[in-house]
């Protein structure tokens, strides 16, 4: 198991899930192997780590088989995969909704079929349709990035924010960041723009903004892919003096910190996320209480501690 370097922050909201009939895991395994459908938005290392963590927990329990589908990065693909799982009659589903609102119809189909769902990474609005949501405390990730920006700039400076507001995780990160820096009158947010969680788009936006502003001190980008795009734009413009702050903690991101290209990262724990999501599903099948909002903490990575962070 990957090293767990941070404590869990568990919001004590217990999900009774009255709409699902919860039976004991032992009774179900007497009838045959339980099958869990696992849907991930893509083959990204982050998603693979979630799958590996879930598999580890199911292997510990025994009697559970995981059917994994990796999507094409679109909500349409996710909905299709979830509908396939419903048609297959799986016993439960764990999935990472890229755009939460776009998967609501599929969640309703799961509920109608009596299939329990555990969501990872990106919370959904319709919490009555899920057993549990296991995700990074994304608001905290934004707050911690803001605190480091404020400290590094001495409470004064000009900032650009790149986010993806249709993605709940990104929205929470941006909100945490903005709420924190807004308490410092010396900090000015020059621009806040949507980069659609796309590296090329982030690079293009940053190139354009550098033509407008010559006094940028820091950029907060809501995920590493965007941060990589921002760095490419800053490097090409000879503006590597501008700090880049982001969220994720992949091996590539940590390497960028060690090389001085990214200033700080609020690191997530996808392996642990998958492990805990599987544990919530097992608890459900055992008739035990589940936690509706299960929030994982973050480890903040800078040049001072990056060499100790494994990444994913």
The four Cα atoms 40, 90, 67, 77 give a dihedral, to 10 degrees, of -40
Nearest CA to 163 out of 107, 214, 205 is that of 205
Q: What Å distances lie between residue 110 and 20, 280, 310, CA to CA?
A: 10, 17, 36
Between CA 271 and CA 33 the distance in angstroms is: 24
Give the tokens for residue 194: 């949507």
Between CA 128 and CA 210 the distance in angstroms is: 45
Domains of the chain: 8-136+271-296 (3.40.50.2300), 138-268+304-308 (3.40.50.2300)
User: Model confidence over 210-254: pLDDT tens digits?
Assistant: 999 999 999 999 999 999 999 999 999 999 999 999 999 999 999
User: Model confidence over 263-304: pLDDT tens digits?
Assistant: 999 999 999 999 999 999 999 999 999 999 999 999 999 999
Q: According to the model, what pLDDT value does residue 184 have?
A: 98
User: Model confidence over 58-79: pLDDT tens digits?
Assistant: 999 999 999 999 999 888 999 9
Between CA 281 and CA 288 the distance in angstroms is: 10
């Amino acid at each position: 198991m990957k090293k767990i370097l941070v404590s869990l922050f568990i919001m004590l909201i217990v999900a009774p899930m009255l709409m699902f009939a919860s039976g004991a895991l032992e009774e179900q395994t007497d009838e045959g192997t339980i099958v869990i459908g696992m849907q991930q938005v893509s083959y990204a290392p982050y998603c693979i780590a979630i799958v590996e963590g879930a598999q580890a927990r199911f292997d510990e329990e025994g009697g559970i088989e995981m059917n994994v589908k990796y999507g094409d990065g679109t909500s349409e693909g996710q909905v299709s995969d979830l509908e396939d799982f419903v048609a297959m009659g799986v016993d439960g589903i764990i999935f990472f909704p890229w755009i939460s609102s776009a998967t609501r119809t599929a969640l309703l189909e799961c509920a109608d079929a009596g299939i329990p769902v555990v969501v990872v990474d990106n919370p959904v609005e319709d919490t009555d349709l899920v057993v549990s949501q296991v995700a990074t405390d994304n608001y905290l990730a934004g707050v911690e990035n803001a605190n480091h920006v404020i400290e590094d700039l001495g409470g004064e400076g000009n900032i650009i924010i790149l986010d993806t507001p249709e993605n709940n995780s990104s929205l929470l990160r941006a909100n945490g960041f903005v709420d924190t820096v807004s308490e410092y009158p010396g900090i000015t947010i020059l621009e806040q723009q949507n980069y659609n969680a796309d590296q090329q788009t982030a690079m293009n936006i940053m190139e354009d903004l550098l033509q407008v502003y010559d006094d940028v001190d820091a950029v907060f980008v809501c995920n590493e892919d965007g941060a990589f795009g921002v760095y490419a734009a800053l490097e090409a413009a000879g503006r590597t003096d501008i700090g880049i702050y982001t969220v994720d903690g992949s091996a590539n991101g940590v390497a960028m910190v060690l090389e001085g290209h990214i200033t700080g990262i609020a690191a997530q724990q996808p392996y642990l996320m998958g492990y805990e999501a599987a544990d919530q599903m097992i608890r459900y099948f055992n008739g035990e209480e589940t936690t509706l909002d299960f929030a994982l903490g973050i480890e903040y990575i800078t040049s001072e501690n990056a060499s100790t962070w494994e990444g994913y």
